[in-house]
Each structure stands twice: as structure tokens, then as C-alpha cells.
Amino acid sequence: MSFPIHTLRQPRTIAIIGKYQSRRVSDALIALAAYLQERGVSVFIERETAEHMGRPDELSRWMVCGFMDIGAHADMAIVVGGDGTMLNAARRLARYNVPLVGVNQGRLGFMTDIARHDMLSAMDALLDGQFQPELRMLLDAEVIRARREIANNLALNDIVIDKGATGRMIECELFIDGEFIYKQRADGLIVSTPTGSTAYALSANGPILHPALTGIALVPLCPHALTNRPVLVDDHVEIEIVVTHANDARAHFDGQVTLNLHRGDAIRLRRSEYSICFLHPPGYRYFSMLRQKLHWGERPSDEENAARRRDRAADADA
């Protein structure tokens, strides 16, 4: 399978996509759109973003359009929100080869790496072509029921098969390229890309995968057998998960699209023919981002050191 090569050009048209129903994001979107327009850029506002902002008079200066028009005409898209907003935009724009830039208005922001207070200054570097491109793989999944495809979805982070709302474990069989691997009783199974390795898979003790890797991680959720450990497989394999016993099983695509599963359903996953291009600001480093977000090697503050000294002194006096 061959994958597309992304080429970047000086942006003349930029789409802005925002987190819905957030006043803070609305203010940032309008400031960003006005700044880009001053720099001679044509600006699109994504339609659902505009509808949830509720400020038609201010938005009348720019074209409002859907993801299809953004894919056809925009040179890039700027996502203002958190990782969830970025995931939604990535899935909907991947087929169009539109690069994405992330401005963080969420919490952790593993994929939205421009801080809100640096947003406008970062746009200067972006328009000068100083941003660093990075390709991220996606997963393509089809759900088969009674030999018929009932759903097909993309995922940038992960695809999760879990037990749903019930407290009982589900049973699944795992096949890789048609070879039976194991039968598992667990709360579920996470199939994660390198991008998703710092999401749900990380909470389930899965490995952190550098985005330059092209493997797929299989991470069990609370397996009944302690020998069921995370497994990393090549990105060119086909993975099939068959639900053999469940009362309320579900499949989740990036935690945003959910499908109820029946006993006997098969979920077939492979690397997507599409990839997404993230544009990172100058100075971006993946491990530096992890250190910041995950607080690796964080030194205690002066206040914390002083509090510890007071505690030790009190213990000595006692």
C-alpha cells in the first residue's frame, strides 16, 4: 500500500475550526480570523463552528462553509480547541490532504501545541513557512455483521472495543493477517496508533510510541489473564477482532463515534490510505512536549521545598 506525500505551499486560504459552544474559543477565533485577514489571507470559518458561536454580525466578514469546501479550497486549517476538536477535524479532512495547525484551548493538548497567548505571534512564523510538517497515520475500521459491512470509520487516536455499560467482561478473539492470536476475556481492547499512544492506551499501561513509528499497539483493558500484555504490530497487517460473547459491547472511534456491537460481529482494522499532516511551530520537540504534559522529572518549586523543610523540622522537634 502506498501513502500520500504532503507538499506544503504558501497559504493563501486558511480555514478556522473551533471547539463548539465556548465563549473563550469564540473570542480567539474572531481575533485569529481578523489577524489573518490583515495579513492578506482569505479566511473560511467552518460551518458548525460558526453556528455554535452565535455571533453572525461579527462573522459576516468571512466565508462560512462545510468540511467538503474546506477540503477542496483551503491550503491549511487552524484548529482552536483541544485534542478532541483536532481529532474530529483530522478524521473529516484526512482524505483532502489539508494540513492542520493546533491552538490549545483545552487541557493537555498533545496535538494542539500552540498556546493561546502565543497564537498571533505564531501565525507570523506560519505564514513565513517556518512551521515543521509531520505526518500521522490513521486507522480504517469496518464492522461486519452477518457477512455484511454495517459501518466504516477512520480513527487518528484509537479504536476501542469495550463492555459498554454493563459490569460483565466481554470475550473477543484476535486475528492478525488471518492468524488466530488469542481469545481474551477483559473489559475490552484498545487498538492505538502512535498518536493515540498518549491517550486512552497510556491510561491502560500501553507503551508510548513516537509519532515517527508506524506500528499499531494492541492494549488489553483489564484482562482476566495477566499474561495478556500490550503488543506492538506492523502497520501493514490486517487486524480482526471478533466478539464471541458480550451483553452490551461497543466500538468507539477516537472516543467520538460509538457503535453498538452484537455477538459474532467482526471489527476489521488496517492502516488507512489517508494520513494527516500536522504543522508544528519552530522549536517543537516531541519529547519536550511529553516532559511538559506528563511532568517528567519535574523539580519541586521553592514553596514545596520550604514546606518540606518545615515538615522535617516539625518532625525533629516532635
Write out the catalytic residue numbers. 83
Angle subtended at Cα 178 by Cα 175 and Cα 180, rounded to the nearest 5 degrees? 45
Residue type, 158: D
Query: If you search the block for the grid coordinates 462545510, which residue do you land on?
Result: 66
Question: Beta 13-18 vs 42-46: how paired, if at all?
Answer: parallel
Question: Beta 239-245 vs 170-176: how paired, if at all?
Answer: antiparallel
Find, among 243, 155, 151, the residue nearest to 200 by Cα.
Answer: 155
User: 185 vs 35, 89, 163, 220, 308, CA distance in Å?
Assistant: 54, 34, 10, 9, 46
Residue 75, Cα to own-chain centre: how many angstroms?
21
Cell of 112: 494542539
**What radius of gyration do the chain's Cα atoms show?**
22
Q: What gap in Å lies between CA 140 and CA 156, rounded to an integer?
A: 9
Q: Which long-range contacts (CB under 8 A, 24 or more apart) does 200-203 make?
A: 200/157, 200/158, 200/160, 200/255, 201/158, 201/230
Three-state DSSP class for 217?
strand
Residue type, 6: H
